[in-house]
């Protein structure tokens, strides 16, 4: 056993590393007794088990020390360095400031690649980039980041919201006719990529309206191009309407012809490209779309060409000559006396769009009654005026003004119609009974004075 201890000691010194823990503990008297007992072959089972346990413990200690020396030797060979320090120092340390593991584990390299430790800002040669300030950082200072700009962001309107927003704007435009106000309202909206639908919505509403509405719509489209809409947006809108014509004719049977007039007017106003119609030649399968395009082509190929297309919707109510309006109202009343259709007369009067001139209709109706023969015209005119009064088509002011004009001209009318006063009184009584006129208006009607014959020599002349 002593020989083994000396061999292990010499082996440790030859390795170049000496550790005090490598020296085996010296034998004591108890070990000598065990050896003598072993030689005599007189071991008890307890002594034999104790001896084997000691041998196993020694073998484990030798194996642990050997593996520790091997790992240290490998780490030094990888680093290309040589052993430094005192090999006889306790625990075999290489340097007092060495950061290598003391447990004999790992590759023996410095922790964190040499970038760790107290007072260390990182590895040598490391360059740190400028970091953006984080708003969630507790040390974040908002005032030090410069001026803060706040802006209101309007979300883009979807199809449903666009229709609900634009329809009231267009309907209100039909009342005031100010295109600049419409432009200002549209600029406040975030129309996005659906702004072309503004044109299609305006045209669809005007198709269900009157001729004056369509005229206003054509002016609106012309004024919006270059400001809110582009020619490409306008072309896209009319292309959509041409595809929707099968649905539009369900509410407006004349939609193909009207849409063709809109296209011709837009081209004349430079709201649509001049070659808009050329893109559809030989490419249209829908009969309604073909009719609309043919209508536009005919209007653009007229002798006067595009110069007169500003009147494609006719002349609006207040812009018509007075003589023309009077003629239209006379024709309206005569057709009513023949057909007796009150609804048709009401529709024609509304189409004239001259509510400030309705007193002329009252005047012409009363004069027709005075010049007519029989009671049929009287009853029909009373019925017509009653309907106009109840529906609010003719206001109280217009009704009174029409009758007062007849009162002023009644003496001249009596020259052609001697019984004008009597017929007028009968007509006023019926109108008052039906609630068409007031009692004050009826009482202000001029009456003919008392008639008497002076003498036979007067020749039967009537004296007042």
Mean pLDDT is lowest, of 208-212, 288-292, 455-459, for 455-459
The CA-based dihedral angle spanning residues 258, 264, 268, 269, taken in that order and rounded to the nearest 10 degrees: 40
The CA-based dihedral angle spanning residues 368, 373, 375, 381, taken in that order and rounded to the nearest 10 degrees: -10
Quote the crossing angle between the two packed helices 255-268 and 197-207, to the nearest 10°.
130
Q: 170-229: per-residue pLDDT in tens? A: 999 988 888 999 999 998 888 888 888 999 999 999 998 888 888 889 989 999 998 889
299, pLDDT greater than 90:
no
Phi then psi dihedrals of residue 27, to 5 deg? -70, 145
Question: What is the C-alpha separation between 252 and 204, in angstroms, rounded?
Answer: 10
pLDDT for 35: 56
14, pLDDT greater than 70:
no
Quote the crossing angle between the two packed helices 420-433 and 358-371, to the nearest 10°.
130
The CA-based dihedral angle spanning residues 82, 87, 90, 92, taken in that order and rounded to the nearest 10 degrees: 30
Asked if 62 contacts 71 with a C-beta cutoff of 8 angstroms, the reply is no
Element (H, E) at 224: helix 211-224
Asked if 393 contacts 346 with a C-beta cutoff of 8 angstroms, the reply is yes
Asked if 195 contacts 228 with a C-beta cutoff of 8 angstroms, the reply is yes
Q: 21-33: per-residue pLDDT in tens? A: 444 444 455 555 5
pLDDT for 168: 92
Question: What is the C-alpha separation between 94 and 109, in angstroms, rounded?
Answer: 13
Question: What is the C-alpha separation between 384 and 337, in angstroms, rounded?
Answer: 10
Q: Is 88 exposed, middle or buried (0-12, 13-18, 19+ CB in 10 A)?
A: exposed
- Largest alpha-carbon pair distance within the chain? 200
């Amino acid at each position: 056993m002593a020989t083994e201890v000396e061999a292990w000691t010499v082996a440790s010194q030859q390795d170049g590393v000496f550790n005090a823990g490598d020296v085996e503990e010296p034998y004591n008297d108890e070990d000598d007794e065990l050896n003598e007992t072993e030689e005599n072959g007189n071991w008890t089972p307890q002594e034999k088990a104790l001896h084997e346990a000691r041998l196993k413990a020694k073998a484990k200690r030798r194996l642990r020390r050997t593996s520790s020396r091997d790992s240290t030797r490998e780490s030094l060979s990888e680093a290309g360095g040589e052993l430094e320090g005192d090999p006889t120092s306790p625990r075999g340390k290489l340097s007092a400031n060495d950061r290598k593991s003391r447990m004999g584990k790992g590759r023996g390299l410095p922790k964190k690649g040499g970038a760790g430790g107290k007072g260390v800002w990182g590895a040598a040669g490391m360059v740190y980039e400028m970091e953006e300030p984080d708003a969630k950082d507790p040390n974040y200072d908002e005032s030090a980041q410069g001026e803060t700009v706040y802006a209101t962001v309007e979300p883009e309107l979807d199809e449903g919201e666009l229709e609900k927003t634009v329809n009231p704007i267009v309907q209100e435009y039909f009342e005031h006719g100010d295109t600049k106000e419409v432009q200002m309202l549209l600029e406040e909206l975030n129309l996005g990529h659906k702004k072309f639908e503004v044109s299609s919505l305006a045209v669809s509403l005007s198709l269900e309206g009157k001729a004056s509405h369509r005229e206003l719509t054509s002016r609106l489209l012309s004024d919006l191009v270059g400001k809110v809409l582009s020619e490409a947006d306008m072309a896209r809108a009319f292309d959509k309407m041409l595809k929707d014509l099968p649905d539009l004719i369900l509410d407006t049977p004349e939609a193909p012809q009207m849409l063709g007039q809109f296209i011709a007017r837009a081209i004349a106003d430079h709201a649509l490209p001049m070659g808009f119609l050329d893109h559809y030649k030989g490419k249209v399968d829908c009969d309604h779309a073909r009719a609309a395009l043919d209508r536009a082509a005919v209007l653009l190929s007229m002798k006067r060409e595009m110069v007169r297309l500003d009147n494609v919707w006719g002349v609006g109510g207040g812009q018509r000559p007075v003589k023309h309006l009077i003629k239209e109202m006379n024709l309206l009343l005569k057709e009513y006396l023949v057909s007796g259709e009150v609804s048709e007369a009401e529709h024609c009067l509304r189409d004239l769009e001259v509510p400030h001139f309705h007193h002329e209709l009252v005047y012409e109706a009363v004069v027709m009654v005075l010049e007519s023969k029989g009671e049929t015209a009287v009853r029909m005119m009373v019925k017509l005026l009653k309907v106009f009064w109840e529906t609010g088509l003719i206001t109280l002011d217009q009704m009174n003004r029409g009758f007062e004009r007849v009162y002023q001209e009644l003496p001249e009318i009596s020259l052609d119609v001697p019984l004008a006063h009597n017929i007028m009184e009968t007509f006023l009584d019926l109108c008052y009974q039906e609630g068409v006129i007031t009692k004050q208006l009826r009482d202000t009607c001029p009456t003919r004075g008392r008639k008497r014959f002076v003498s036979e020599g007067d020749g039967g002349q009537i004296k007042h």
